Amino acid sequence: MRSKEELSQMDVKYLVHPAVNFKEHRKKGPRIIVEGKGTRVKDIDGNEYLDAFSSLWNVVAGHGQEAIGKAITEQLSQLEFYSGWFGFATESAIELAAKVVNLMPKEWNMGHVLFTCGGSDTNDTNIKLARMYWELKGQEKKKKIISRNFAFHGVTYGSMMATGIEFFKTYFEPYPPGFLYVAPPYCYRCALGLAYPECGVACAKTLEEAILQEGPDTVAAFIGEPVMGAGGIIIPPDEYWPMIQKICDTYDVLFINDEVITGFGRTGKMFGCMNWDVHPDLVSIAKGLTSGYLPLGGSIMSNKVFDSIAENLPDYLTFLHGFTYNNHPVSCAAGLAALKIIEEQKLVENVAKMGAYLKDRLKGLYDHRSVGDIRSIGLMAAVEFVKDKETKEPLGDLPMESPRRIEALMWERGIYARAIPTESIALAPPFTISKEEIDMVVDALDSSIAQMESEMLH
């Protein structure tokens, strides 16, 4: 193997990384990870880190699960690839489609899956399906997609437009038309200046106002993450989703449920929306589907949507949306093995149990002067920093300055946690995490916050 120095030079010379500042990366170089087992990864210097973010929310079953590797190599040696286009199929894709549909609550009446490559292309697929559904029903004007500020749905043009975090859109104009944003259920900093519960969950009603203003006959779908992830781990009050569902039903607006982070157990239920009484029309999955071992996403269509498209598509036309790697057999084999681990090792139950413990332990962090808000559900949590708890003024002069400092201090303590917008540090560890490891993470957070405050709060 090449030396660390050689690899670092090559990285800086040849490899591009999302979400880095190119100039800064040239100076700092990469963090080269060489090995992973369970919740831990090792870098090229042999340092071990507790991966409290499951890499990118996705390695939910933990690193180095041999059964997933074995399933991948077995599928590879039997059949590496055959396209899913034109009615071709492979065994692993068929098996995984049945598995995923049957994991969904019966009341959702889900029926069919198109496997994709990840979350962004899945959301694009679902946006296109929503528009196609209405047009084939003779509603040519019903095209608009309503999303929320702080939403993250991906970076391809459709999913980027559904994303409500502004900096993901900077530099990428001109924007495709037909996307609108309403208020998120971010109680700590309510966009409407109200307080829960007296607000009557007015943020949900902004959806109705937007639909009425645009005209219900122009709105195709509402897209939302059950718990907003990259935008700040924003957990809605319990009334929120049933209200949204009712509004969608009243105005014939499809509901696209983006379960890319929350799917397969992250909130302590198999799917995030199972925490509330809702019934989506289209569901987006990715990340935890293969536990990150291979790229795979999936657009899940309710029988309502699929059957209507099937019925109304003219006989001379086919469904002309697809990627070369739809229904990839090796990724699907990885998905089957990953879901088997989640079920057999009762990982969703462990998320619920460890999530309750994490929530309890995090409460202690409110003792710090800078901790304004702590949000958690299952094994996803955010701690938001402020200069002053009364005014809620953000801590630091630059956006995300305080959580970025915490991220660096946690790394020095052997733990990976991630800074996210809303001035928060986020945790999303693998579902296999133990109580002792949660203690390690929260203790490191405690001392990192104390150090950050001594540097930044005067």
Ligand X SMILES: Cc1ncc(COP(=O)(O)O)c(C=O)c1O
Interaction site with ligand X (CB under 6 A): 118-120, 123, 152-154, 225, 229-230, 258, 260-261, 286
In the bound state with ligand X, the residue whose beta carbon lies nearer, of 144 and 287, is: 287
Local structure of 48: helix, strand or coil:
strand
Q: In the complex, which residue's CB is closest to ligand X?
A: 119
Helix (H, G, I), strand (E, B) or coil at 274: helix
If the CB atoms of residues 118 and 421 are measured against ligand X, the closer one turns out to be 118
Q: Are residues 39 and 433 in contact, defined by beta-carbon separation less than 8 angstroms?
A: yes
Closest CA to 272 of 318, 234, 308, 232: 234
CA angle at 165 for the pair 133 and 262, rounded to the nearest 5°: 65
Q: In the 8-state DSSP scheme, what is residue 330? A: H
Question: Quick one: 117 or 347, whose CB is closer to ligand X?
Answer: 117
Least gap, CB of 85 to ligand X (angstroms): 21
Q: How far apart are CA 220 and CA 248, in angstroms?
A: 10
* 55 vs 448 by CB, closer to ligand X: 55
CB of 208 vs ligand X, minimal distance in Å: 23
380-385 sheet: strands from edge to edge: 371-377, 380-385, 424-427, 418-420
Paired tokens of 387: 């200069």
Closest distance of CB 51 from ligand X, Å:
16
Residue at token pair 């109705």: 208
DSSP one-letter code for 386: B
The contacts of residue 37 (CB under 8 Å, 6+ apart) are 62, 63, 64
- Using DSSP bridges, classify how beta strands 415-416 and 297-302 pair: parallel, antiparallel or unpaired: unpaired
Asked if 453 and 405 count as a contact pair (C-beta separation under 8 A), the reply is no
In the complex, minimum distance from the CB of residue 249 to ligand X, in angstroms, rounded to a whole number: 23
- Beta carbon nearer to ligand X, 210 or 283: 283
> In the bound complex, what is the minimum distance in angstroms from residue 121's beta carbon to ligand X?
7
| For ligand X, the closer CB: 152 or 293 | 152
* Closest separation in Å from C-beta 458 to ligand X: 35
